[in-house]
Amino acid sequence: MARKMGFFAILAYVLFGFLVYWYLFYIADSTLPFEFQGSSADPATFLNSRELMLSEEYSQIRNLLFFLATPLEWLIYFLILLTGLSKAFKNWSDETTKNKYGRVGIYVFWLSLFAYMATFPLSYISYHLSKTYNISTQTFASWMKDELIDFWVNFGMMVVIVGVLYWLINRSRRFWWLFAWMLSIPFTLFIMFVQPVVIDPLYNDFYPLKNKELEAKILDLAAQAEIPAEHVFEVDMAEKTNALNAYVTGIGSNSRIVLWDTTLNRLNDNQILFIMAHEMAHYVEKHLYIGIAGYLLLSLIGLYLIHKIMNWAISRWGKEFKVSGMGDIRSLPLFFILLSMLAFAASPFSNFVSRYQEARADSYAIEMTDNPEAAITAFQELTKAGLSQVNPPLLVKLFRYGHPTMLERISRIEDYEIQKRNEEGMSP
């Protein structure tokens, strides 16, 4: 039975891959609607023919890798259950130490290591793709360093989470999901608080913005928005990527506005001020806290569903999974499968909310800076630097885009510009 289940799981993944490839390369339509051709949102107006070709190729392959990556994780964890590897990891941990917390750490290490090695080829292909299309400038050694940091940071957090999770399951079979959710609230806030000062510096160097004239302009914008900012941080990313970015991270006294140095190198002051005003809008409209509340709500629903589905699945296929019950740590791969599946299923909804917030931030920024040309050219440069599709296919937008498409963002600013021009023409 286990061998049959494994065969059909592999077959389903292969068929899924072919369907995704067929959709992205033969069905999906990313052409610009006729009414936008020749507008500022038309990539033909700011990309040359080679850049147009490369952006389409790169986006198609990158989207394919995205849709293959998450189901591949499901397949790997499923095969770990069916082949008895999860049972082997548990036996190795039992043979290594008698300390129950040490056993959790050893089990999680072997599970994490095997999953990492199994998904490494796809991760490397993604890295090589970005190098080939000149998005990434990172050496293989630097990339591997970041990969290893990722592995150990995730492993450290996972040992704590898994240890607490299975302690709760064994203490309260009926309500562990509720207690786990309650504990996740302070844990999530703690991680968000320490991330800017503990986790992020493991990957890159952060320092106050060197251009003090530009910093003064940004802080003046912050003062207008009544944001208590003292510094703007820049991060050294040019050695890793040609892409552009800026973001807000952290909460409370550790919150930061961060600019990549690639953004500073490629955009002028007016374009950067528009981007900064966009990031400030997230602070003003409390999008970060709304996002945390939404995440916690979804996690509550998700943990309850995992509780129900895991009980059902183990009662039906526990023998094939070689799992005795939910409190058996050998069931952890099943927990990861369900968690990932629910997160993937919820991503269109969470992305929709995120796109709404990003559109609000764009509107705030254009009202604040009142410079449509800077906003439009900034978005054009972002598109060019990342070889992004201006009008991605529908499924790509639903599952990948936490921001409005560049077509939507640029056309919205053009509408603002036309409206403003009309209002000025009507004024006496």
The question of whether 279 is a catalytic residue gets the answer yes
- pTM for the model stands at 0.90
| Position 1 pLDDT exceeds 80 | no
Cα(238)–Cα(75) distance, rounded to whole angstroms? 36
Helices (H), 133-175: 140-171
Cα(94)–Cα(143) distance, rounded to whole angstroms? 34
- C-alpha distances (whole Å) from 115 to each of 60, 86, 110, 253 are 26, 11, 9, 36
Query: 342 vs 415, which has greater pLDDT?
Result: 342
Cα(139)–Cα(214) distance, rounded to whole angstroms? 31
User: What are 281's two structure tokens?
Assistant: 């809008």
Q: What is the pLDDT of residues 104-130, one digit of tens each?
A: 999 999 999 999 999 999 999 999 999
Mean pLDDT of 369-383: 92
Mean pLDDT of 175-181: 95
* Residue pair 90/107 in contact by the 8 Å Cβ criterion: yes
Annotated binding site: 278, 282, 358
User: Quick one: pLDDT at residue 26?
Assistant: 92
- For residue 202, the number of C-alpha atoms closer than 13 Å in the C-beta half-sphere is 15
Helix axis angle, 406-426 relative to 332-369, nearest 10°?
20
Query: How would residue 171 be classed by pLDDT, with cut points 50, 70 and 90?
Result: very high
* HEC letters along 175-215: CHHHHHHHHHHHHHHHHHHHHHHHHHHHCCCEEECCCHHHH
- C-alpha distances (whole Å) from 112 to each of 88, 100, 230, 320 are 14, 18, 40, 22
Q: Which of 200, 215, 279, 328 is catalytic?
A: 279
Query: How would residue 426 be classed by pLDDT, with cut points 50, 70 and 90?
Result: low
- For residue 206, the number of C-alpha atoms closer than 13 Å in the C-beta half-sphere is 18
Q: Write the burial class of residue 115 (CB in 10 Å: 0-12 exposed, 13-18 middle, 19+ buried).
A: middle
Q: Which of 362, 370, 373, 415 is catalytic?
A: 362
Q: Kindly report the average pLDDT of the chain as a whole number.
A: 91
| Position 236 pLDDT exceeds 70 | yes
* Residue pair 309/297 in contact by the 8 Å Cβ criterion: no
| Position 271 pLDDT exceeds 80 | yes
| Position 427 pLDDT exceeds 60 | no
User: Quick one: pLDDT at residue 325?
Assistant: 86
| Position 428 pLDDT exceeds 60 | no
- C-alpha distances (whole Å) from 364 to each of 38, 214, 215, 359, 375 are 26, 20, 20, 9, 12
| Position 423 pLDDT exceeds 70 | no
Query: 338 vs 29, which has greater pLDDT?
Result: 338
Domain regions of the chain by residue span = 2-190+285-426
Q: What is the pLDDT of residues 48-65, one digit of tens each?
A: 899 999 999 999 999 999
Q: What is the pLDDT of residues 299-318, one digit of tens each?
A: 999 999 999 999 999 999 98
User: Quick one: pLDDT at residue 98?
Assistant: 86
Q: What is the pLDDT of residues 196-221, one digit of tens each?
A: 888 888 898 888 888 888 888 888 88
Query: How would residue 424 be classed by pLDDT, with cut points 50, 70 and 90?
Result: low
| % the chain with pLDDT above 90 | 66
* HEC letters along 4-38: HHHHHHHHHHHHHHHHHHHHHHHHCCCCCCHHHCC
Mean pLDDT of 135-161: 95
Cα(27)–Cα(48) distance, rounded to whole angstroms? 25
Q: What is the pLDDT of residues 17-56, one digit of tens each?
A: 999 999 999 999 888 888 888 888 899 999 989 999 999 9
Annotated binding site for Zn(2+): 278, 282, 358
| Position 250 pLDDT exceeds 80 | no
* Range in 18-22, 168-172, 337-341, 414-418 with the lowest mean pLDDT: 414-418
Query: How would residue 229 be classed by pLDDT, with cut points 50, 70 and 90?
Result: low
Mean pLDDT of 191-200: 86
Which residue type occupies 394? L
| Position 279 pLDDT exceeds 70 | yes
User: Quick one: pLDDT at residue 405?
Assistant: 94
